[in-house]
């Protein structure tokens, strides 16, 4: 696999000729809706094992090998017809082999809403270890809302993907509410009722485990939350169910803010089986324009996280979406969510070219709407996904967790598959 960035004058046909791959495959792998109108700066995944390269003046096999991250021996082995490796000439064709030495195996979680389309779910499940269905809303009395998840659980198990029940403290208005867990933590009776209700659903619906996603907790509930998780873990473990939690992206133990203070990395790293680390939303709906998951910020979180949590327990969060902001940004105004495929389509429609920010390792573009207002769009592409996925190997993490898989983004899975094999925990 190679990631190719579209240049001015490129067409699907010219790229297909360059890499000796069919135009149809390029279009399918990258969901190109208008093959005759590529976007300059657009990243394309080219699924090939090798490609021909025409030697330029001044180049040697050594310089070409360095250009493509190969050893000289690898390049020589791929070109046995070259009699004298020390003598190649401009215009000569050299075969560039693409390394398919994967970085290893990893765990892959995908959060999904129950309304995910069946075809999208079926296409995505082969790349997942866990399917986390979002979500059961907890009430102050320990009861849980009901969701229609039976078909998704069956589909997951049919493809050896472990279905995970997600429990959240989202209230009836749709926002995370710290008052709900505060009331639950104040009563051992209510806590046990909640645990009983979780176990009943796990058993009746054939889930493999539960993910507790409690956010915006009162800072005073930090240890109460830890104790609840200890009690939950002690009752789930004998029954064979796993316990995971979703944690806010902290950079230090004493980080201030209601999103962070009750999330105890060290304690939860000791208690639970897996941590879903929410390394996204630096750029968010009501915030200023930023990359959603800038790699420099993700690194800061991981640098801290691996000092408190066993790295193999961490599943690093990756967003499957972007945002469209109106400029100039005014605090309190709302950005519009956009899919990664939709972002490229929008750039095409408005005649923009896509840029790539090296610091955040993320693509973006500007455009003007019909009212003359300027916009900026930050999203994810094959390059940004590749950069994030390589952090798993670098930090020795257990794997990744996508929010969410409701929109199908084939580039993501092609890049993932080229770097790692997906671990399946169900037989």
| Per-position DSSP letters for 54-82, written without gaps between them | EPPTT--HHHHHHHTT--HHHHHHT-TT-
On whether both 232 and 293 belong to a single domain, the answer is: yes
CA distance 107 to 130: 8
User: Residue 215 catalytic?
Assistant: yes
Say if residue 42 is in the same domain as residue 125.
Answer: no
User: Considering its fold, how many domains does the chain have in total?
Assistant: 2
Confidence check: pLDDT of 100 > 80:
no
* pLDDT tens by residue, 249-281: 999 999 999 999 999 999 999 999 999 999 999
Same domain as 108, residue 52:
no
Contact between 276 and 314 under an 8 Å Cβ cutoff? The reply is no
Is 20 inside a domain boundary? yes
Catalytic residue among 34, 183, 200, 215: 215
Nearest Cα to Cα of residue 109 among 208, 214, 250:
208
- Position 427 pLDDT exceeds 80: no
Query: Chain-wide mean pLDDT for the chain?
Result: 96
Q: How far is CA 76 from CA 55, 60, 72, in A?
A: 14, 11, 6
Domain C-terminal end among 45, 75, 97:
97
- Residue finishing a domain among 41, 67, 97: 97
Structural domain span for residue 37: 2-97
Q: Has residue 212 been placed in a domain?
A: yes
Examine the domain organization and report whether 78 and 171 are in the same domain: no
Mark which of 97, 116, 140 sits at the end of a domain.
97
**Among 68-82, 154-168, 217-231, where is mean pLDDT lowest?**
68-82
Residue 30, domain member (yes or no): yes
Q: How many helices (H) and strands (E) does the chain have?
A: 14, 18
List of residues 6+ apart from 37 with CB closer than 8 A: 348
Q: What distance in Å separates the CA atoms of residue 128 and residue 413, rounded to the nearest whole number?
A: 10
User: Are residues 205 and 66 part of one domain?
Assistant: no
Listed residue (198, 199, 124) closest to 156, CA to CA: 124
Q: Is residue 347 one of the residues assigned to a domain?
A: no
Q: Are residues 135 and 16 in the same domain?
A: no
- Does residue 357 belong to any structural domain of this protein? no
Provide the pLDDT for residue 268. Answer: 98
């Amino acid at each position: 696999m190679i990631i190719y960035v579209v240049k001015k004058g490129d067409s699907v046909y010219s790229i297909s000729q360059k890499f000796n791959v069919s135009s149809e495959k390029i279009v399918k792998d990258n969901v190109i809706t208008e093959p005759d109108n590529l976007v300059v700066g657009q990243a394309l995944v080219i699924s090939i094992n090798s490609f021909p390269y025409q030697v330029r003046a001044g180049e040697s096999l050594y310089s070409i090998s360095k250009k493509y991250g190969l050893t000289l021996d690898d390049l020589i082995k791929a070109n046995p017809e070259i009699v004298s490796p020390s003598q190649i000439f401009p215009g000569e064709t050299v075969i560039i082999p693409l390394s398919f030495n994967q970085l290893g195996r990893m765990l892959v979680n995908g959060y999904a809403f129950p309304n995910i389309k069946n075809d999208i779910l079926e296409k995505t499940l082969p790349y997942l270890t866990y399917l986390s269905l979002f979500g059961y809303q907890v009430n102050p009395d320990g009861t849980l809302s009901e969701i229609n998840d039976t078909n998704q659980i069956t589909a997951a198990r049919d493809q050896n993907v472990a279905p995970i029940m997600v429990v959240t403290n989202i209230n009836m208005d749709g926002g995370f509410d710290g008052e709900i867990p505060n009331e639950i933590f104040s009563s051992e009776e209510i806590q046990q009722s909640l645990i009983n209700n979780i176990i009943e659903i796990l058993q009746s619906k054939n889930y493999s485990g539960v993910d507790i996603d409690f956010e915006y907790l009162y800072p005073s509930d930090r240890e109460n939350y830890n104790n609840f998780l200890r009690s939950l873990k002690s009752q789930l473990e004998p029954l064979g169910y796993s316990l995971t939690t979703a944690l806010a992206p902290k950079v230090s133990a004493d980080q201030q803010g209601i999103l962070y203070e009750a999330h105890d990395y060290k304690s939860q790293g000791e208690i639970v089986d897996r941590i879903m680390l929410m390394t996204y939303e630096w750029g968010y709906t009501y915030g200023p324009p930023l990359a959603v998951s800038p790699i420099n910020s993700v690194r800061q979180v991981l640098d801290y996280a691996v000092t408190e949590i066993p790295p193999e327990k961490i599943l690093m969060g990756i967003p499957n979406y972007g945002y469209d902001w109106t400029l100039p940004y005014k605090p309190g105004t709302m950005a519009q969510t956009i899919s990664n495929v939709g972002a490229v389509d929008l750039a095409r429609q408005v005649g923009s070219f896509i840029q790539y920010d090296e610091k955040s390792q993320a693509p973006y573009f500007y455009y003007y709407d019909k009212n003359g207002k300027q916009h900026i769009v930050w999203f994810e592409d094959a390059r940004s996904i590749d950069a994030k996925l390589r952090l798993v190997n670098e930090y020795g993490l257990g794997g990744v967790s996508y929010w969410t898989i409701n929109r199908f983004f084939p580039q993501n899975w092609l890049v993932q598959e080229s770097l790692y094999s997906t671990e399946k925990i169900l037989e």
